[in-house]
């Protein structure tokens, strides 16, 4: 059964989270001054999982040359008590491609009748 899942992210440049397949990343948001990532996942116990690298870049941060390998998820605004920060949340493009292929494969299996 599909459900909406939330992953609390650390406010660091790079981290890895583990997401079950198939999944669809919905958005990133601020919640109680934390960064959270929302996705739709299959909550079955025997589904495969995949590690996903997350990049978080703030305004004025240096962006590495490999940023083109990532897909933009959203912008999150945080207030640390002194200043606001705007953070770009990005995931690997290969993950997005893999998820889209996996979702398409599942769609075909459910909806395509071979005679």
Query: Taking the domains of the chain in order of start, what are their residue ranges?
Result: 2-111
At residue 24, what are phi and psi to the nearest 5 degrees? -140, 120
Q: How far is the C-alpha of 19 from the C-alpha of 48, rounded, in Å?
A: 9
**CA-to-CA dists, residue 101 to 8, 74, 104, 106, angstroms:** 26, 22, 5, 9
At residue 101, what are phi and psi to the nearest 5 degrees? -65, -45
Q: Locate 78 and state its tokens.
A: 């945080």
pLDDT value of residue 89 = 65
pLDDT value of residue 2 = 86
pTM of the model: 0.71
Task: Render each residue's pLDDT in the chain as its tens digit; 115 residues.
Answer: 889 999 999 888 888 888 888 788 888 888 988 889 999 888 777 888 888 888 888 777 887 777 777 888 888 887 765 555 555 666 666 556 655 666 666 666 776 665 5
Q: What kind and span of H or E run contains 110?
A: helix 93-111
């Amino acid at each position: 059964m599909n459900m909406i899942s939330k992953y609390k992210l650390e406010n660091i440049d790079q981290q890895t989270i583990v997401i079950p397949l198939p999944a669809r990343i919905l958005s990133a948001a601020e919640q109680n001054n934390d960064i959270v990532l929302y996705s739709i996942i299959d909550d079955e116990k025997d589904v495969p999982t995949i590690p996903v690298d997350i990049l978080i870049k703030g305004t004025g941060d240096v962006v590495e040359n490999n940023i083109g390998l990532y897909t933009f998820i959203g912008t999150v605004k945080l207030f640390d008590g002194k200043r606001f920060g705007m953070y770009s949340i990005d995931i690997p493009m290969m993950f997005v491609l893999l998820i889209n292929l996996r979702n398409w494969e599942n769609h075909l299996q459910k909806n395509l009748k071979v005679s």
